[in-house]
Amino acid sequence: MTARPHLFALAAIVVAGLLAALGVRSAVVLDLVFTLLLYAVLGQSWNWISGYAGNISFGHAIFFGCGAYASALCVTHGLSPWLAIPAGALAAALLALVTGFPTLGLRGHYFSIATIAVAALVEVFVRTSPALGKANGFELPIASGWAAMQFPQKGPYVMLALALFAIVQLATIALERSRLGYYLRALRANHAAAASVGIDERRYKLIAFAWSAAMAAAAGVLYAQYTLFVDPPSTIALAVSIDIALIGVVGGIGTLWGPLAGALVYVVLAKAVALRMGGTGKGYDLVIYGAIICVIAALRPYGIVGTIVDALRRRRGASVAVPTAGTAA
């Protein structure tokens, strides 16, 4: 299938996002757009390792945290926050390589529980490390301008998030068409068969994991510059990891646009619940996300986008590429 429709769709989103960043004055709307794009990037990052490669991670927040903490450390040590993007991405990629090397060969729940264990160990490390602000974290000093990556208005933040989103989507379009993408999907569908034709599972999953971690770290830098506050519960805790996985699963694992769809559902629901119920509505959003995931898992394991893709393919009369129930074992 050609990449052209995807590129057109991406271009349309970038144009719409730019118009919003330049034209919309409402801080509430811009905040929603920024959050949507940031979550879409995190969902896509998760999707590389958990969707395309099939290793479901419940500890992805540690890579987001690498970026957020890199940003906090750079700024508090008088360095440019722009430096935090390569530094955070590199740290996250290294962390992914070190933790992925032993664990990526684990299957199913063995891997998923290992990610929880690794993330919990990282959180304890951060909480006890004075250089990383222990449990208190960091407040970033206020500045302004592109050099400091801080802005009084939200428009420039939306532009940055849009740029990051576009890069990540382009990378994913490239992944879907690359050798790496085919290898990962082959490994996910049947690792034994893939290994028997010479695909090195550890090598290709490590590559995907490192890129995935680097993307999440870039989102972390942007998040830190946006909220100007970084601490363990807001960046590396299990709850953040669960939110990231939630976005990935709701939209549809292993699909190009799934993370954006998942982030849209997430942001809209969170906002709607907050508006309708105010502070008393705590928990109702969880009920809805949980119900969506249950329904999707039981009836439509390939999520919103997976279902649409499937329906389109059926209408064209082509064979269904998404493996149907039971064949993926």
Q: Where on the chain is the footprint of another protein (CB under 8 A)? A: 54, 56, 58, 102-103, 106, 108-110, 112-114, 116-118, 120-121, 124, 127-128, 242, 245-246, 249, 253, 281-294, 296-299, 301, 323, 325-329
Compute how many other C-beta atoms are within 10 angstroms of the C-beta atom of residue 159: 19
Residue number, 28 or 299, with CB nearest to another protein: 299
216: CB partners within 8 A, 6+ apart: 41, 42, 45, 46, 60, 63, 64, 66, 67, 92, 244
Q: How far are the Cα atoms of 43, 62, 109, 119 from residue 57, in angstroms, in the given order?
A: 11, 11, 9, 10
CB of 121 to another protein, least distance (A): 5
Residue number, 152 or 326, with CB nearest to another protein: 326
CB of 96 to another protein, least distance (A): 16
Token code pair at residue 292: 């969506």
Residue number, 321 or 328, with CB nearest to another protein: 328
Residue number, 132 or 160, with CB nearest to another protein: 132
Backbone angles phi, psi at 77, to 5 degrees: -100, 15
CB of 188 to another protein, least distance (A): 9
What residue spans of 228-302 are helical by DSSP H? 232-235, 238-251, 258-277, 284-299
Residue number, 282 or 314, with CB nearest to another protein: 282
> With contact defined as beta carbons under 8 Å apart, do 34 and 157 qualify?
yes
CB of 46 to another protein, least distance (A): 12
CB of 192 to another protein, least distance (A): 13
Residue number, 26 or 129, with CB nearest to another protein: 129
CB of 159 to another protein, least distance (A): 33
Residue number, 67 or 262, with CB nearest to another protein: 262
Measured distance between the N- and C-terminal CA atoms of the chain, rounded to whole angstroms: 26
> With contact defined as beta carbons under 8 Å apart, do 182 and 77 qualify?
no
CB of 291 to another protein, least distance (A): 6
Residue number, 186 or 242, with CB nearest to another protein: 242
CB of 156 to another protein, least distance (A): 34
Q: Own/partner pairs for 238-241, CB < 8 Å, 24+ apart?
A: 238/58, 238/59, 238/61, 238/116, 238/119, 238/120, 238/123, 240/61, 240/64, 240/65, 241/57, 241/58, 241/59, 241/60, 241/61, 241/62, 241/115, 241/116, 241/119
